[in-house]
Amino acid sequence: MELFSRVHFNILRACVGSWFWIAIFLLLHSGKGGNSKYLIGLGSYDITGPAADVNMMGYANTGQIAAGVHLRLRARTFIVAEPQGKRVVFVNLDACMASQLVTIKVLERLKARYGDLYNEKNVAISGIHTHAGPGGYLQYVVYIVTSLGFVRQSFDVLVNGIEKSIIEAHDNLSPGSIFVNKGEILDAGVNRSPSAYLNNPTAERSKYKYDVDKEMTLLKFVDDQWGPVGSFNWFATHGTSMSRTNPLISGDNKGAAARFMEDWFEQRGVSDEFASEGIPRRVSNIVSGHSEHHELLELAASFQSPSGKPATRTLSVARRVRGVLRQANKPAFVSAFCQSNCGDVSPNVLGAFCIDSGLPCDFNHSTCGGKNELCYGRGPGYPDEFESTRIIGERQFKTAVDLFNKASETLKSKIDYRHAYIDFSQLEVKIPKQGGYEVVKTCPAAMGFGFAAGTTDGPGAFDFKQGDDQGNPFWKLVRNLLKTPGKEQVDCQHPKPILLDTGEMKEPYDWAPSILPIQILRIGQLAILSVPGEFTTMAGRRLRDAVKTVLSAGNNGEIHVVIAGLTNTYSQYVTTFEEYEVQRYEGASTLYGPHTLSAYIQEFKKLASALVANKEVEPGPQPPDLLNKQISLLTPVVMDATPPGVNFGDVSTDVPQNATFKRGDLVKVVFWSACPRNDLMTEGTFALVEFLRGKDTWVPAYDDDDFCLRFKWSRPSKLSTRSHATMEWRIPKSATPGVYRIKHFGASKSLFGSIRHFKGASSAFVVA
């Protein structure tokens, strides 16, 4: 009996020990994401372009020249891979749109680094459509006229940043899970061309509650080891909260939403509540060690503004707020707010009004007394464009947080993709006709008179107006000096009156694209449709429904289909046939004629059918690489200078002596500076707010990637070698009371071309 008991005990102990180690093994290998079938990796890198002298891309307003930074721009990437199978890459750019030339050069670099692992088939590069980013990075003439041609600095920072964000995502690849969720945002977009939308069939419109898409689709990425590491979402609203006269680089409402969400996640361990102004608290780990106001004033008085001093390039990077706060070895949380079918969707949700009378604009033409220049849309923060940007960004951010927290549906099944290049200038399209089909054709690219009228987000000039299907004899005469469209082109584009026959203009090189990429990325039950333009609401609905019908035939469960707008290249707008007939701005900017949407639907259905049947598709004709043909008329920086006895970085206008500010106040400091084109401060900052910890330790608190801090650059005249940097800090309600100062980092250029970095600091002041 004793022997039996001893043997029984030893067996029991062995069993318990075995189960213990089995449990440990399972625990270690299950991680936080469960039974993962994917490898996931996310990355992010600074793509902020030249903050001076370069025309902004989007409004085509020659007077909108970059002169500072509101928010830094970033490339954000996710990679999803099957451990032994296929993989896809999606890059979201804080830029107006993707560029064919940028895409070509990024793919060349990826091939040199990774071989055939990443290529045109499985890499998508998409723009958020901010109208507050430097231009000059596209290769076709019509898109770089206002930027005085090609801007190499704009182009290089994009290519470099995209590549580095993909490298980071690739290096971060590890087992994880992806969750998908959907929800509505009712107050972040309105239809800016309702008269065109109303021309769609009544039966079709009756299927939808709204005249714009209100749904956001969000992906939540959860790493098995680290837990949540990011989110990407798609929602349709234009990046035009910032106006056509804004000179500060900004990601607009989507760039703001991304900044808010990344900061929210990094700080949610401290507090899950939103700050009272709706933006996450920027610096949550700062604790003031001083309680008496007079003590703070005495301490601040001991830090007077020093003379500007030489600095190293790396100092600007080292003092970045988010670089300081980032945890070692842990992937940074990446959140992207991607663009969708935003063609006719405006964030200026209060409506369009005449600036002279305050009355609503004309419904059909968006004019005021016949003039389009007086009709402007109003954002929710009107008349403050920064407030409108914050509000629309916050509305997207809050919905994204809710979807992120509640996401429960897991993406499953295989990863796949299809890609093709299509010549849209002469594509035969089968369209349904009573009793069968009719074969029609697309046209070489052309823009109509309504294009020059602009939109309520950014009106054009002269006497153009939206909804013009006749044209104007004077402007036709001006047009003919460039290129007179032939009868075949006029008939093909009808009822569009052609203002610019861009598809047939080839001097000094192509004015508009003919060959466009189309692409489907599939991750389990999610399909991402990469489109190289801006689809209107109804055009996007038709495309999504057509693809979903094909994909659903080969799938048992629900298929989620999202449109990724402005992806891989740019070719302006895509409307429905009925909207095209009205010839508002979007129809006049639908380049390839009235059957453009039907062509997209036809070709995307081919890609979807190939996915279902597991067949390959013809790659199609390659688009041109026009890098060696580019012309640039932007003058370089010759040199920078300061008055005698003044150093770069010296304070020109300081804070008042013994100053105390309250939260909500504006602090303004002006420095002697140099042209920001000398160094883009990539992954660094031009502006910095520091907080005094203890009696002699300055801690980074806010930089030029914070919504509350603006860097404004100016020179007294265009040819002047002298310039100023103005830092404006609107003190957040969440700011910690204490002693602060404002710093500036820059780089000057000598007459002989050498670049020297400098730094400057204001006197210290108190925030009570």
3-state helix, strand, coil in the chain (%, to 5): 25, 30, 45
Q: How far apart are CA 645 and CA 654, in angstroms?
A: 17
The values of phi and psi at residue 69, to 5°, are -135, 130
29 has binding-site annotation: no
Q: How far apart are CA 254 and CA 92, in angstroms?
A: 11
- Secondary structure class of 249 (helix, strand, coil): strand
Q: How far apart are CA 241 and CA 260, in angstroms?
A: 16
534 has binding-site annotation: yes
Q: How far apart are CA 712 and CA 645, in angstroms?
A: 24
The values of phi and psi at residue 534, to 5°, are -110, 100
- Rounded to a whole number of angstroms, the CA Rg of the chain reads 28
| Cβ atoms of residues 153 and 50 within 8 Å | yes
Q: Are strands 87-93 and 123-127 parallel, antiparallel or unpaired?
A: parallel
- 62 by Cβ neighbours in 10 Å (0-12 / 13-18 / 19+) ranks as exposed
- 655 by Cβ neighbours in 10 Å (0-12 / 13-18 / 19+) ranks as buried
CB atoms inside a 10 Å sphere around CB 45: 22
**Per-residue 3-state assignment (H helix, E strand, C coil) for 342-393:** CCCEECCCCEEEECCCCCECCCCCCCECCEHHHEEEECCCCCCHHHHHHHHH
Question: Any idea of the CA torsion for 704, 705, 706, 708, to the nearest 10 degrees?
Answer: 40
Helices (H), ranges, 172-226? 194-197, 202-205
Q: How far apart are CA 294 and CA 557, in angstroms?
A: 67
Question: Can you read off the two tokens belonging to residue 267?
Answer: 């700080």
Positions annotated as catalytic residues are 346
Q: How far apart are CA 758 and CA 674, in angstroms?
A: 10
DSSP 611-676: HHHT------PPPP--GGG--B-PPPP------TT--TT-EEEPPPTT-EE-TT-EEEEEEEE--G
Is the link from the previous residue into 331 a cis peptide, with omega within 30 of 0? Answer: no
CB atoms inside a 10 Å sphere around CB 210: 13
Q: How far apart are CA 47 and CA 482, in angstroms?
A: 35
Q: Are strands 334-338 and 227-234 parallel, antiparallel or unpaired?
A: parallel
Cα dist from 249 to 73, 608, 713, whole Å = 8, 38, 11
Question: Can you read off the two tokens belonging to residue 119?
Answer: 């290529």
- Secondary structure class of 247 (helix, strand, coil): coil
AA identity, residue 687: A
- 145 by Cβ neighbours in 10 Å (0-12 / 13-18 / 19+) ranks as middle
Give the contacts of 719 (CB within 8 A, at least 6 positions apart): none
Adjacent-strand bridge partners of 766: 660, 739
Residues annotated within a binding site: 129, 238, 534, 573
Residues in binding site for Zn(2+) = 129, 238, 534, 573
